[in-house]
Structure 1
Amino acid sequence: MARTAFAPAKVNLFLHVGAPGADGYHPICSLMAFADVGDRLTLREAVALRLDVRGPFAAGAPATAENLVLRAAHALLARARGPVAPIGLVLEKMLPVAAGLGGGSSDAGAALRLLREALDLAIEDADLERLAAELGADGAACLWGRPVVAEGRGERLSRAPSLPVLDAVLVNPGVPVSTPAVYRALDASGRFGEVARPSMPEAFETAAELAGWLSSQRNDLERPAVATAPEVGAVLETLAGERETLLARVSGSGGTCFALCGGDIEAEGLAERLEAMAPHWWVRRCRLGGPWPDER
């Protein structure tokens, strides 16, 4: 019964955030891509529903009722028709927590996909997407792990432009960044952005072309994230000054920055130099795109 699903890191290539509405939620528009690095979720036989969390970042994602993997499992099983066999889930937590990489949402998406397939549940894609959206703002986008434009609260998804495979480096200074704190800082600043979907070509042919276009876009949470955690600003400044970097930006509400590079050699060289320069940083060379196979 053992099966595995890959939960890729989410990267916001741009993230526009508007003023909060009467309900307190901020509308967004974001182009998201997914990395070939992430967490892994394994399904095993068990006597009762159980989650074990392992890996270098397990302490930040304890197996409590609030863990999005368990929430996803309970929500899906509640929709199932008839009894199902007890299941055990093992989460290998390879991504830092509170890092702007959508790790919890991606883990939940992996759980939904894995359980539906393994238990042969008669649940349509649209129903699965609704369940994912109910679990968080990134839930719907992270379910399938493919490039997408997210709008509204993140639940309105549309096809992203065709992207080349993007060689990149992810860097996290090891400081968790609270998303609510970042939004509070944004609200205090009053610097809200336009959230209408920007005009985009149907396809970007090269990383340099995409980086050039992205330079006219922004992450509206970048400034408040840096204000909340100055260590993130140090990473961003370092990446922006490196010769291999085509574009440096904060992903999501912060914690992790990314550098787009012109190719694999450039990304490898940048990652190796950063690891030597700041061994306490979490540094991962990756490719952005998706969806990636579960065998990764």
Structure 2
Amino acid sequence: MQRLVARAPAKVNLTLRILRRRPDGFHDLASIVAFAGACDVVTLEPDAPLGLAVAGPSAAAAGPDADNLILRAADAFARHVPGARLGRFTLTKRLPVAAGIGGGSSDAAAALRLLAQINDIALDDPRLHAAAREVGADVPVCLDPQARIMEGIGERLSEPLGLAPLFAVLVNCRVPVPTADVFRTLGLRAGEDLAGLPHEAPMSTGRAAVMRHLALHGNDLEPPAETVAPEITRVKAMLAQEPEVRLVRMSGSGATVFALTDDCRAAAQVARRVAAAEPGWWVRPTVLR
């Protein structure tokens, strides 16, 4: 069988509400999640010895191959599907690492999709979702990358929202932001709720309605992330001054920031100017769906 290929798109938290810290230490959240055109690429050589090679511009930052979530996903899949066909993976790592856009989770989900394909397993198979949950909280939503509401610690997913495409620029200033540090700075005690607006789905999935909704519902992790990595504040300020930009927000626990524009041409113009001003940053115009 020839090699199989899957995209692993960046996961963008359009909103992120932290509801509470549970007694077990995990945080309950609610988030509208969308997926970008910017992506990593995962390939699978079926039935070859299980293994992983990592290449691409962000490969060096991805850490030891043996610790990669793709191999953890394959191990989890093999436990839930005894006798499953496996294979050798290659990851072309394009997305920045520890960036708040779920790159590692999306890579793992792409690997699970490929394994499901060669084993004739449907994407809604409970075994596939059980394996995804074992690997990480963000992996289940990345299995079928469409805009959804994600709740709990990531295990409760809505049906696809069918959002209108959103034109965006993703900017990462190359400062890794460990998620644990951000939650530590948020500082909730076990059992404590975080005050804020209730999290809701947009009234309509049209672009104008979604933009109005996003203006009211932000990301509760932005303040602690900006404390951990003050460079995020500078990225936000730079994007906010661009005339084509309609909304600026951080994704996940940072440090990636996204700016929304009216169309793809405006997004490309903003991306060109930011990349010219900061050539060391990762900057991508894209569409969120």
Contact in 2 for aligned 1:236/1:257 (Cα 8 Å): yes
Aligned to 1:198: 200
Change (3 A) 1:242 1:75: same
Taking the aligned partners of 1:239 and 1:220, their CA distance within structure 2 comes to 19
Aligned to 2:78: 77
Aligned to 1:293: none
Contact in 2 for aligned 1:171/1:283 (Cα 8 Å): yes
Give the Å deviation of 1:258: 0.1
Change (3 A) 1:124 1:213: closer
1:221 equivalent to 2:221? Answer yes
Aligned to 2:9: 8
Give the Å deviation of 1:263: 0.3
Taking the aligned partners of 2:215 and 2:84, their CA distance within structure 1 comes to 52
Taking the aligned partners of 1:139 and 1:177, their CA distance within structure 2 comes to 19
Contact in 2 for aligned 1:51/1:63 (Cα 8 Å): no
Deviates more, 1:231-240 or 1:45-54: 45-54
Give the Å deviation of 1:18: 2.2
- What are the superposed Cα offsets for residues 132-154 of structure 1, whole Å, 9 maximum, x if unpaired? 12211211111111111011111
The equivalences for 1:1-296 within 5 A come to: 1-45=2-46, 47-82=48-83, 84=85, 87-121=87-121, 125-187=125-187, 192-194=194-196, 196-198=198-200, 200-201=202-203, 203-206=204-207, 208-289=208-289
Give the Å deviation of 1:62: 3.3
- Match of 2:200, as an amino acid? P
Give the unaligned 5+ runs of structure 1: 290-296
- Aligned partner of residue 20 in structure 2, secondary structure: coil
Give the Å deviation of 1:52: 0.2
Give the Å deviation of 1:123: 8.2
Taking the aligned partners of 1:63 and 1:119, their CA distance within structure 2 comes to 28
Taking the aligned partners of 2:188 and 2:123, their CA distance within structure 1 comes to 43
Contact in 1 for aligned 2:76/2:134 (Cα 8 Å): no
Taking the aligned partners of 2:60 and 2:110, their CA distance within structure 1 comes to 20
Taking the aligned partners of 1:121 and 1:151, their CA distance within structure 2 comes to 25
Taking the aligned partners of 1:4 and 1:74, their CA distance within structure 2 comes to 19
- What are the superposed Cα offsets for residues 245-291 of structure 1, whole Å, 9 maximum, x if unpaired? 111000000110000110011111111111111111110000000xx
Contact in 2 for aligned 1:17/1:195 (Cα 8 Å): no
Taking the aligned partners of 2:122 and 2:33, their CA distance within structure 1 comes to 29
- What are the superposed Cα offsets for residues 93-115 of structure 1, whole Å, 9 maximum, x if unpaired? 00000000001110010000001
Normalised TM-score (structure 1) = 0.90
Contact in 1 for aligned 2:76/2:135 (Cα 8 Å): no
Change (3 A) 1:24 1:124: same
Give the Å deviation of 1:116: 1.3
Taking the aligned partners of 1:182 and 1:136, their CA distance within structure 2 comes to 17
Taking the aligned partners of 1:83 and 1:258, their CA distance within structure 2 comes to 39
Taking the aligned partners of 1:225 and 1:214, their CA distance within structure 2 comes to 19
Contact in 2 for aligned 1:36/1:287 (Cα 8 Å): yes
- Aligned partner of residue 154 in structure 1, secondary structure: coil
RMSD over aligned Cα atoms: 2.0
Taking the aligned partners of 1:104 and 1:247, their CA distance within structure 2 comes to 26
- Match of 2:67, as an amino acid? E
Normalised TM-score (structure 2) = 0.93
- Aligned partner of residue 7 in structure 2, secondary structure: strand
Contact in 2 for aligned 1:53/1:62 (Cα 8 Å): no
Give the Å deviation of 1:121: 4.8
Q: Among all aligned residue pairs of Structure 1 and Structure 2, give the percentage whose two residues are the same amino acid.
A: 44
Give the Å deviation of 1:119: 3.5
- Aligned partner of residue 27 in structure 1, secondary structure: strand
